[in-house]
Chains A and B, each alone.
Chain A
């Protein structure tokens, strides 16, 4: 029966969807390859085979296993997790706010987190430096810093959501509100820094650079749980997001509770951003670049766009971090700078193409 019915479905359509699944699988494979490579490269000489065997638990305890399990692997997994989270958050925000420029970075959430971190370091004494080189930064109290950064990010989110719900600001204008909030927080951070000691300023600047190496296994666990749960929620709502793409009234006509979907979706994507940023610092543009690359390749169907953007985000951040570690090794460049280097040209490209939602 099923067979008979399937035959009536245009084969070309099935092929077309299979192609999308294939691209996602290909990206997953690329992540795996790059992951092994990223564990492999670095100051300590390892071979890819050693890496694979160690990951499978087939080698004896030794310095290699310690480097792999305690330093390289958490770093690689953190890069993938944060990349997935930031990218999928951007993808959903662009849909919910009906604005191609929406992302964790452009909504001011990252700047809110930076302000929180600055408060923790300068006003609450959570960190300082011994010298001017970034390596010597000491964060005395990472928990306090993370909590403050998280509070800053969520505060921004709540203001944006408040404007949307209570004051009736249109979704399109919410990105503008985010830009305003972003510069407000940046200004507040500058004022704080003005009254701070130079070691504290250095610590704030260092924190805002963004650094994947900060993540411990415990941080990774929290990030992975949040991102995993959010991904499930987003996938469950993929049809709702597709309906929203057809226009708000059409979506309502198709049975979508538009206001609820928008509020919860914005909250969840902000939560991912807040968690990622408070653990790793500011990493811009992943939420913009990841989804837009996949929109070009796969179109706007969220059944495929959500997983594809996630994987692309993970791949991009992992690639950026690996580049940051290796380009002038043994110096590790701030990964936030690398992602902005890639992201800014894309942003300009989007602007030059106009605001069309194609």
Chain B
């Protein structure tokens, strides 16, 4: 177990968004958070990274209390890819080098450059390294921000809708990379996603969030038509097609 969330509560002003959230994530796991818009998925992800401060509960990362760590210490342990990001006029190499920020004291070291080179290679971005971010396609850009988070050498990677703007090919490519990173680096990946078919194909664990509370949490066994229908308020069937689980709205 690498991440343990216990009784986490969060409210914007007086409106509660999350109530009593408990779950655990293991190493090497791709853990997905699911639910309708406004269910509190992104809020939960931001709480896990201390961008938002929960009003109650504890979050343990490798037995350390997350809320007691400084922002820099948090950044050394967790990588976060936001739903929205901006593409300034910097090169791909520099954008990924930024991921070393939590580790850099005054200037970049040889190791930092090496980590960046390595991550670029893993994501197949080497040939882009001197291209400017604003010249990249959506898929390439998404890979760059994931590369940046991986360059942080995090123990937990948090992704907020990493595939929402991508075409089919890039959706698969990005999720394959993420899944490979999870198993090879033995880190946990927590991902917020909307596409149930992609989730069923790639995720190991599922957390169904409804109105700020956990509706169900577990493996493939909780992804029943009944649960999904209750959370998304749409009747569905879960079938297997060519040996792959698929969700079909009815």
Tell me the A residues contacting B by CB distance below 8 Å.
2, 5-6, 8-10, 12-13, 16, 236, 239-240, 242-243, 245-247, 249-250, 252-257, 295, 299-301, 357-358
* Chain A residue at minimum C-beta to C-beta distance from B106: A236
Contact B91 A16, beta carbon cutoff 8 Å: yes
Q: How far is the CA of A8 from the CA of B114 in the complex (A)?
A: 7
Q: Could you say which of B5-13, B27-35, B94-102 contacts chain A?
A: B94-102
Give the interface centre of A240, A247, A250, A358 by most chain B CB atoms within 10 Å: A250
Tell me whether B74 is interfacial, beta carbon within 8 Å: yes
Contact of A253 among B73, B79, B95, B111 (CB under 8 A): B79
- Nearest chain A CB to B22's CB is how many angstroms away? 24
* Chain B residue at minimum C-beta to C-beta distance from A95: B88
From known contacts A239-B98, A247-B85, A257-B71, infer whether A10 and B90 are also in contact, taking CB-CB under 8 Å: no
From known contacts A2-B110, A239-B101, A249-B51, infer whether A301 and B94 are also in contact, taking CB-CB under 8 Å: yes
A-facing residues in B56-103 (Cβ within 8 Å): 70-76, 78-82, 84-86, 88-91, 93-95, 98-99, 101-102
Contact of A254 among B75, B86, B129 (CB under 8 A): B75
A-facing residues in B114-159 (Cβ within 8 Å): 114, 117, 126, 129-130, 132, 134, 145, 148-149, 152, 158
Tell me whether B163 is interfacial, beta carbon within 8 Å: no
Contact of B130 among A16, A240, A357 (CB under 8 A): A16
Q: How far is the CA of A8 from the CA of B110 in the complex (A)?
A: 10
Give 8 A-B pairs besides A9-B110, A253-B75, A255-B74 with Cβ atoms closer than 8 angstroms: A13-B91, A242-B90, A242-B98, A249-B51, A249-B82, A253-B149, A300-B89, A358-B89
How many B residues face the partner with a CB closer than 8 A?
Answer: 46
Q: How far is the CA of A253 from the CA of B113 in the complex (A)?
A: 20
The residues of A that contact B95 with a CB separation of less than 8 Å are 246
Q: How far is the CA of A245 from the CA of B89 in the complex (A)?
A: 9
Contact B129 A9, beta carbon cutoff 8 Å: no
- Nearest chain A CB to B179's CB is how many angstroms away? 21
Tell me whether B104 is interfacial, beta carbon within 8 Å: yes
Tell me whether B49 is interfacial, beta carbon within 8 Å: yes
- Nearest chain B CB to A217's CB is how many angstroms away? 33
- Nearest chain A CB to B190's CB is how many angstroms away? 13
Q: How far is the CA of A264 from the CA of B168 in the complex (A)?
A: 45
Q: How far is the CA of A145 from the CA of B99 in the complex (A)?
A: 48
Sorted nearest first, the 4 A-B pairs with minimum C-beta distance are A255-B75, A253-B80, A255-B72, A245-B88
* Chain B residue at minimum C-beta to C-beta distance from A298: B89
13 A-B pairs (CB sep. < 8 Å): A8-B114, A9-B113, A13-B91, A246-B95, A249-B82, A253-B82, A254-B99, A257-B71, A295-B89, A300-B90, A301-B90, A301-B91, A357-B89
